[in-house]
Amino acid sequence: MEKKACAGSSGSDKIGIGKLGKPFCREKAAWFFVFEGGRRRCMFEKGELIIYGSKGVCEVTDISTINISGASKDKLYYILCPVNDKDGRVFTPVDSEKTAMRRILGREEALALIEGIPDIGHLWVADERQREQNYRQALSSCDCREWIKIIKTLWMRNQERLSQGKKTTAMDKKYFKLAEDYLYAELSASLGVPQEKMQAFITEKVEQAEKGYAEKGYAEKEEISAGGL
């Protein structure tokens, strides 16, 4: 396999070729490609914010081999720090597919997501005995829309229980809070809005979007009426 130049490096001796066609920079571990099953995966960079499974937003604090019992000495690992747990650390192989990982949303993606919240449905729970498992799967999916579904589902479920004189269950409180924390943490990082102000920010943006849709619909209706005269 032909060696490729490492970004920021002119020396080919700093390039390693691993299994399954995995070139990497030994000096900085600045990038990483996996050619497997016709797919190409790009490595995250040090200092980047990503979403990692059920840990939510994490900063990639380092990319290196690690000296931990049971860990391969030849593998590169992401060393992650959850933004909501500064003392926590997560170690995961860069080529792991066991846990979903992705970059956080860009600013425009985040705004588009917020504007589309009214169109996002609820979480389908076919079997009440599997409700908590459904919540866990949705949380660990790394999908903002799934988090929003949890929030919508539990808000409606809570309203129904309150109308029946029942209290919110501890499980519902737990997963509602987790889903909010995951969503608000990512949107906060993407938009530069403090996490504690995200709920108000989202409410304002959704109301603006709905007002815009209503005005557009009214204008189109008026145009159709005028055209029929």
- Kindly report, residue by residue over 74-130, the tens digit of the pLDDT: 888 999 999 888 889 999 988 888 888 899 999 999 999 999 999 999 988 888 888
CA distance 163 to 132: 23
Give Cβ neighbours of residue 94 (< 8 Å, ≥ 6 apart): 32, 43, 44, 63, 75, 76, 77, 78
Give Cβ neighbours of residue 39 (< 8 Å, ≥ 6 apart): none
CA distance 38 to 42: 13
**pLDDT (0 to 100) of residue 216:** 62
What percentage of residues in the chain have a pLDDT greater than 90?
Answer: 49
Q: Which pLDDT band holds residue 223 (cuts at 50, 70, 90)?
A: low
Ramachandran assignment for 142, one of left (phi > 0), alpha (psi -120 to 50 degrees), beta (any other):
left
Q: Which pLDDT band holds residue 200 (cuts at 50, 70, 90)?
A: very high
**pLDDT (0 to 100) of residue 140:** 87
Please name the amino acid found at residue 66. I
Q: Mean of the pLDDT values across residues 21-28?
A: 34
CA distance 23 to 52: 23
60 burial type by CB count under 10 A (0-12 exposed, 13-18 middle, 19+ buried): buried
The winner for highest mean pLDDT among 63-67, 154-158, 224-228 is: 154-158
Minimum mean pLDDT range among 65-74, 111-120, 158-167: 65-74
∠ CA 62-40-19, nearest 5°, is: 70
Q: Which pLDDT band holds residue 224 (cuts at 50, 70, 90)?
A: very low
∠ CA 44-78-190, nearest 5°, is: 45
**pLDDT (0 to 100) of residue 217:** 58
